[in-house]
Amino acid sequence: MQRPSWDSYFMEITTVVASRSTCLRRKVGAIIVRDNRILTTGYNGAPAGLRHCLEIGCLRESQGIPSGERHELCRGLHAEQNALIQAALHGISIAGGTFYVTHQPCVLCAKMIANAGIKTIVYQGDYPDKLALEMLAEAGVELKKMDFNG
């Protein structure tokens, strides 16, 4: 039996991480890997100590805000942001790492990822943010879109 690719293996784990999401709109998971070792994980949801949208409802949904717009009107952190924060909180260097994300990062996350020294992003689902793709390309971050079968 042939072993699955590392990308498929890590994307499968990323999907499991996404299942912890407390977002009512989209479950997103992220992991940061370097040298085939998982360094941190993150999923989208409210900051520690705050009530989650599962408990109080979605502010963006109640205001009819489309996906990809007005990020500041959300209680939650993005999965990528949580993975980056976990690295900082625990003093883990992620420079040169690969980000596995269930969905293409938004422009806010793209800027943080570029500044963190991430070299590659592997993702599956699309996200309506062309500027994020342009900025990542300009920063020299390699983007690899996987289909759902690996």
74 is in an annotated binding site: no
| Whole-number Å distance between alpha carbons of 97 and 114 | 11
CA distances to 27, 39, 43, 58, 75 from 120, rounded to whole Å, are 21, 15, 19, 31, 28
> Looking at this protein, which amino acid is placed at residue 12?
E
Residues 69, 80, 138, 142: which is the catalytic one? 80
* 14-6-148 Cα angle (round to 5): 55
> Is 106 annotated as ligand-binding?
yes
Question: Which residues have a Cβ under 8 Å from the Cβ of 117 and sit 6 or more positions away?
Answer: 94, 95, 96, 97
- The first and second tokens of residue 71, run together, are 């990020």
Q: For this structure, is 72 an active site residue? A: no
> What does DSSP assign to residue 81?
H
Is 53 known to sit in a ligand binding site? no
Give the catalytic positions in this structure.
Answer: 80
Binding site per annotation, positions = 78, 106, 109
Binding site per annotation, positions for Zn(2+) = 78, 106, 109
